[in-house]
Structure 1
Amino acid sequence: MVEFGKKLKERQIQEWQRYYINYKLMKKKVKQYAQQIETGALDRHRVLKDFSRMLDKQIEKIVLFLLEQQGILAERLAQLGEQHNSCKQQLDIAKICELKEAYRAVAQDLLKLLFFVEMNAIGLRKILKKFDKRLGYRFTDYYVKTRANHPYSQLQQVFKHVGIGAVVGAISRNMGELQVCQGSYPSIYDQPALAPQDPIFDLIKAAADRLTHSTNFLHFLAQHALIMQEELPTPDEEQIDDKKYHFMSLLLNLANTFLYMVNTYIIVPTADDYSVSLGAAATVCGFVIGAMAIAQVFSSVYFSAWSNKSYFRPLIFSSIVLFIGNILYALAYDFNSIWVLLIGRLFCGFGSARAVNRRYISDCVPLKIRMQASAGFVSASALGMACGPALAGLLQTDFKIYKFTFNQDTLPGWVMAVAWLLYLIWLWISFKEPSHEEVLAVPQSVTELTQDDAIEKGLSQPLLLSANGTQDDDDDDSLECDGSDEAVEESRGPVTSITSAYRLLTPPVKVQLLIYFMLKFAMEILLSESSVVTTYYFNWSTSTVAIFLACLGLTVLPVNILVGSYVSNMFEERLILLVSEIMVCIGILLSFHIIITYTVPQYVCSGLIMFVSAEVLEGVNLSLLSRVMPSRLSRGTYNGGLLSTEAGTLARVVADAAITLVGYLGESKLLNLTLLPSLLICITSIIATCCTYNSLF
């Protein structure tokens, strides 16, 4: 992996060198502060005041230059506008073409300015994080709260750049008008099905979105995939060769994702009946459902490591193990053994290849369609979650062939075994193993770039400047000498163990992982105990439970369309995060059975509020998590996606274990006693979010 400092040095605009944030100087100041505080030479108040003044000056320098450049661009656009009006009246095709090129030149300069702002925004985030980590203060919380919310905030200019958006709109609109004679030419804000768009606008829109975090449905949905990206992708990562991309292999990865989610949830409506038929308590369904998650805690790690060398072999192994696991699950009825049932589910968990599915998208799908592939991964998961219970509701029959029983309890196992066998055959015939030497290695240089690729590669200035404003060639070495964890983070490759990964986690990251744990815990409690609770209170049949769970699963995509397309563009993600947590808390509170008769509307409405709020929360949580996650956790076996997956899987394990253990106290106490830890964890996450609120930017 290319070191952070080297990446920044590759992305430089030499003539703007002195206007960048002097990251190196401030990093050295942080180190000096730490030493002076240890010796008692400075107190906390003096340090905060001194560093705040330094940051204010750095931000003011950036903002004044930004405003100056916006003015230059605006003046150029005004001059082009006069020529534009005369060209429209005369319909001079030659002049129209010249004007288009002139507007494109302005667009290229605007893209340079966007990259300038992006580099400085990253530098500000990193130096604030370094200060908090090295000195143990909550300086970020204080600084962002006092500067970002002030009516004359310069900090907002760096992170919101409203003026730049106006320049983008002017260029887009005028180029659209110039293209009328050649057919419809869309502005940057339109999304027509036809009519090609100038590639420069794709680059501008991507850069602007990275700064404002504006989203659309696909982008919001893709966040759920837990595919962590580095802050500054290298040019090689930005353009994976299309020849390495194989559509059928991607489709097979998505099919694996879909089948696995169907496999996970197809047993939920019948797990309690199956447990009772084998002589166990109905609440043992918690262990039956959770056994898959227990095994997935371990399988995520070895599949992630295996995907460093191959994609085809782990997928083959996954299919075979899942085939065996489902056969054992189905045969448990005729063996009359709850242990065979549990072993079958453990096998299914050991076959979880979701880490491989994510890694394939991250490594082998070109950047231009990676967002769509990630959204496809999430959609396949959501569809599988809805199809699993729905399919279970259709398998209402009872017959025997030879000595094998086929009923609502065993058919999920038989159906999934057949599905994995067919998938295994399809995989063996159609999957194309990419060359890992080409996909995973970092080439030393890129010799051939298109004009727009060259623009994107070389437009940014390094943050690592010396005190006099010049580039420091020894900065990577100085990083090693810094002595802080952050310095190590910036200068080395991927971590090699979960322990090392955990040490890199900052308080905001830990809070985001806690939120992810909480929402997965609450959702698992709701889904896994639904069959037992509804049978006890409402005497629902298996088909009714299946319909309820399928309806919950079908809300995933509509909710993400609403939030991704509208809500996330109207409000800050951290505000949506906090409100969603509160709504999950309200859903949990409404689910409790207290004194009055428990009714179907109360259960359905509270469950819907909890589930939908958790879905909204998952999207914004993972979006924020991707921004606060250390860059070293964007690649390798122990990446941020794996940590998030482990947090969510552990939550499911704990929730399913709680259902089984509480079940021994009686089904009448199951609902309240399992909701109580959900409520406590939710309240804790809300408090933690409030404490780190100003760090989530």
Structure 2
Amino acid sequence: MVAFGKKLKERQIQEWQGYYINYKLMKKKVRQYAQQIELGTQDRRHVLKDFSRMLDNQIEKIVLFLLEQQGLLASRIAELGEQYDALQKQPDISKMSELREAYRAVGEDLLKLLYFVEINAVGLRKILKKFDKRFGYKFTDYYVKTRANHPYSQLQQVFKHVGIGAVVGALSRNLHELQDSQGSYLSIYDQPTLPLQDPVIHSIKAAVDRLTHSTNFLNFMAQHAFIMQEELPAPTEEHVDDQKYNFMSLLLNLANTFLYMVNTYIIVPTADDYSMNLGAAATVCGIVIGAMAVAQVFSSVYFSAWSNKSYFRPLVFSSIVLFMGNLMYALALDLNSIWVLLLGRVFCGLGSARAVNRRYISDCVPLRIRMQASAGFVSASALGMACGPALAGLLQTKFKIYKLTFNQNTLPGWVMSVAWLVYLVWLWITFKEPVRDEVEENHVPHQSNAENHIDALEEGVKQPLLINPMLTNHVPHQSNAENHIDALEEGVKQPLLITSERKEDEDADQDYDDSEEAPEESRKPANSLRSAYRLLTPSVKVQLLIYFMLKYAMEVLLSESSVITTYYFNWSTSSVAIFLACLGLTVLPVNIIVGSYISNMFEDRQILLVSQIMVCVGIFLSFNIFFPYTQPQYICSGLVMFVSAEVLEGVNLSLLSRVMSSRLSRGTYNGGLLSTEAGTLARVVADVTITLAGYMGVSRLLNITLLPSFFICVISIIATRCTYNSLY
């Protein structure tokens, strides 16, 4: 994994090199501050003041250069506008084509400027996060609060690219008018939904959207998948090996996601009835539903590790285990064993391959369609969540074949067994294992050393490459170089020395994520839950808490729905199934509205806070305290809670990917696994809570299970307020 500082340097535009954020210098200053504070030679207040001044200077340098470049682009567009006016009077097709190319050239330069701004914005976020982590301050909170809302804010210029929009608008309008639709009196302002055909405009729009965290429906849906992208933008699209991506393999991963979600929720409407038929209490349905989540806590880890080596074998294993689990679930009634029922659900959880599905999209799908694939992953999950209860509502029949019972309780198991068997055959025939990338060499010699070594080989001398910092304390680097040249000419063996200064300079390029880790270690992915936990900043922990809260609230609502509605409203299984299916069907429309409109009008952190409050309101309205509990109250409060939680999930995962360490984007213990574990653990706790609360009576079940949801939600809102400015 390449250090962030090196990636930043590699992707800089050479002629603009002096105007980028000096990430290396600022990182050195952070280390110096740490040493000075440790030795007691520097006051903490002075450190904050000095670092703030340095940041202000860096941002001012970036902004002034940005304004200068905007002015140059505006001047070029104005000159081209004059040429266009002249061509309007005396049309010339060849000159019109030249003018169009000139506008495109301006567009390419604008695109470079947008990448310049984005790279600097990422660098600023990284250095602020590094400062907070090293000193344990809330410096980001202070800095953003004091700079972002100031009337002369330069920080807004970097993060909101104030002024670039006017250049983009002028360029888009003129290119649109130079298209084949000449002679029309309509402009882009008359037809705002008209797609612009020029690829330069598409690239600019994508860069602007990414810079402002603006989004559309696909982007917002893809945020739910939590597939982490690369931090720094690349001016050109990455090359994708065709042998690595296969559409049918992607489709099989999406089908696996869909079937697994159907498998999860198809039993919810009938789990309480099935438990009672086996001699258990109705509230044992919480354990029955939650057994799958318990197993998923462990399966997520080994599937994530397995996907480092293969995608096909984990999917085959998943299908077989899920087939066996559903078969046991279906046979539990005839065997009259609650333990077989629970074991079947555990097997289903052990077959959860969602980590593999996510990993395939992240590693094997080309960047140009990765957003669509991620949105497809979320859509498949939402559709499966809706189809599961709906399918259960259709399986209202009863018959026997030999000694096997088929009814509303066992049919979900039989149907899913057949579905996974068909999927296994389809998988075996059509899945194509991606070609794995070759392992890169861990050590690359320094350029000058490599050249000297080649010269030595040409002279017929065997020359060892040695790093000897002890010798460099006594022998100057220049004399070493001269002696080495003499030695090569005479055919004498001479060790290559790397000075301590050069080594120190190389170490400075490393991107430290933890002050106690070695440079090489700090670049590696987390290899254990402990090392992954050490990378979690307060902002990340708060986002994981929010994810835990929303999954807990949703699981309580869904898992106890059959028990609650039967007790209060005497609903049938079909009614419960329709209610749950309707909740699932709200996912896509809500995400269309939020992704296409709301997220473009408000910041992610604003939507995050408001949606948390709405979840809290939904939970509060669900309590049965003073008045008789009614169906409208239950349906409306459940709808508010569920819809708000869905909105919250997308924004939460988007912010989580932004504030999480880059070391958690790869390896077994990645950010996706951590969020999955947090959500799965929430489901387990919720289902256990339902079962335990059931022993206190069904009449108290609703309020007892809602209390933890309300309490956790309030805590998450307070925690969000405390870290609000770090989510900038």
Aligned partner of 2:97 in structure 1 is 97
- Per the alignment, residue 110 of structure 1 pairs with 110
Task: Map residues 669-680 of structure 1 onto 2, 5 A cutoff.
Answer: 669-680=700-711
Provide closer, same or farther for how the CA distance between residues 333 and 300 of structure 1 changes in structure 2, counting only shifts above 3 A. same
CA displacement at 1:6 relative to structure 2: 2.6
Q: 1:684 aligned to 2:715?
A: yes
**TM-score, structure 2 length as denominator?**
0.88
Q: In the aligned structure 2, how far is the partner of 1:484 from the partner of 1:92? A: 65
Out of 632, 654, 669, the residue aligned to residue 601 of structure 1 is 632
* Offset from partner CA, 1:268-300 (integer Å, 9 cap, x none): 000000000000010000010001111111111
Matched residue of 2:405: which SS?
strand
Deviation at 1:87, TM superposition (A): 1.7
**Alpha-carbon separation, structure 2, partners of 1:396 and 1:371:** 39
- How big is the shift at 1:241? 2.2
Contact 1:5–1:476 (CA under 8 A) maintained in structure 2: no
Aligned equivalent of 1:628, options 650, 659, 662:
659
CA contact (8 A) 2:329 2:345 kept: yes
CA distance in 1, matches of 2:181, 2:700: 73
Q: Distance in 1 between matches of 2:43 and 2:2?
A: 38
Query: Compared with structure 1, are the counterparts of its residues 555 and 475 closer, same or farther at alpha carbon in structure 2 (3 Å cutoff)?
Result: farther
| Residue 412, structure 1, aligned to residue 403, structure 2 | no
Equivalent AA in structure 1 for residue 304 of structure 2:
S
Query: Quick one: higher RCO (CA 8 Å, sep 6+), 1 or 2?
Result: 1
Give the equivalent residue in structure 1 for 2:647: 616
CA displacement at 1:58 relative to structure 2:
1.2
The residue aligned with 1:452 is none
Structure 2 residue matching 1:238: 3-state secondary structure: coil
TM-score scaled by structure 1?
0.92
> Quick check: 301-310 or 607-616, which moved more?
301-310
Moved more, 224-233 or 133-142: 224-233
**In the alignment, is residue 256 of structure 1 matched against residue 256 of structure 2?**
yes
- Give 1:548's match in structure 2, choosing from 575, 579, 585: 579
Q: Deviation string for 1:512-555 (max 9, x for gaps)?
A: 11000000000000000000111111111100000000000000
Q: 1:270, 1:408 within 8 Å by CA — same for their partners in 2?
A: yes
SS at match of 2:434: coil
Aligned to 2:470: none
Q: 2:562 aligns with which of 521, 531, 534?
A: 531
1:478 is matched with 508
Aligned pairs for 1:129-278 (under 5 A) are 129-180=129-180, 197-232=197-232, 238-278=238-278
Q: 1:55: how far off?
A: 1.1
Deviation at 1:477, TM superposition (A): 1.5
Render the CA deviation track for 1:113-135: whole Å, top value 9, x for unaligned.
Answer: 11111111111111111111111
Q: Secondary structure at the match of 1:437?
A: coil
Q: 1:167-213: CA deviations, max 9, x gaps?
A: 111111111111135899997996657x8x33333332222122100
Partner of 1:79: 79
The CA distance in 1 between the partners of 2:517 and 2:598, in whole Å, is 34
Taking structure 1 as reference, are residues 651 and 488 closer, same or farther at Cα in structure 2, changes over 3 Å only? farther
Residues 25-104 of structure 1: pairs in structure 2 closer than 5 A: 25-104=25-104
Post-superposition offset of 1:489: 9.0
Which letter does structure 2 place at the counterpart of 1:232? L
**Local SS of the residue matching 1:214:** coil
Secondary structure of the equivalent of 1:510?
helix
Within-5 A mapping of 1:497-516: 497-516=528-547
Measure how far apart 1:108 and its partner are. 1.2
**Structure 1 residue 383 corresponds to structure 2 residue 414:** no
Cα distance in 1, alignment partners of residues 505 and 99 from structure 2: 43
Distance 2:111 2:121 in 1: 15
Task: Tell me the secondary structure at the aligned position of residue 226 of structure 1.
Answer: coil
Alignment of 1:241-320 (within 5 A): 241-320=241-320
| Aligned residue number for residue 649 of structure 1 | 680
Distance 1:473 1:118 in 2: 30
Name the CA distance, whole Å, in 2 between partners of 1:442 and 1:369: 30
Judge which range, 101-110 or 384-393, deviates more: 101-110
State the number of aligned residues: 668
Which amino acid is 2:99 matched to? Answer: L
Identity of aligned residues (%): 79
Q: Give, in whole Å, the separation in 2 of the partners of 1:172 and 1:629.
A: 35
Change (3 A) 1:510 1:150: same
What amino acid is the match of 2:258?
A: F
> For residues 353 and 82 of structure 1, what CA distance do their matches in structure 2 show?
60
In structure 1, distance between residues paired with 2:294 and 2:535: 25
Conserved 8 A contact 1:327-1:344:
yes
- Equivalent residue for 1:564, pick from 595, 600, 623: 595
How far did residue 441 of structure 1 move? 6.8
Instruction: Tell me the residue number matched to 1:456.
Output: none
Larger radius of gyration between Structure 1 and Structure 2: 2
Distance in 2 of aligned mates of 1:473 and 1:5: 16
Amino acid corresponding to residue 706 of structure 2 in structure 1: L
Who is 2:670 aligned against? 639
The one-letter code of the counterpart of 2:395 is L
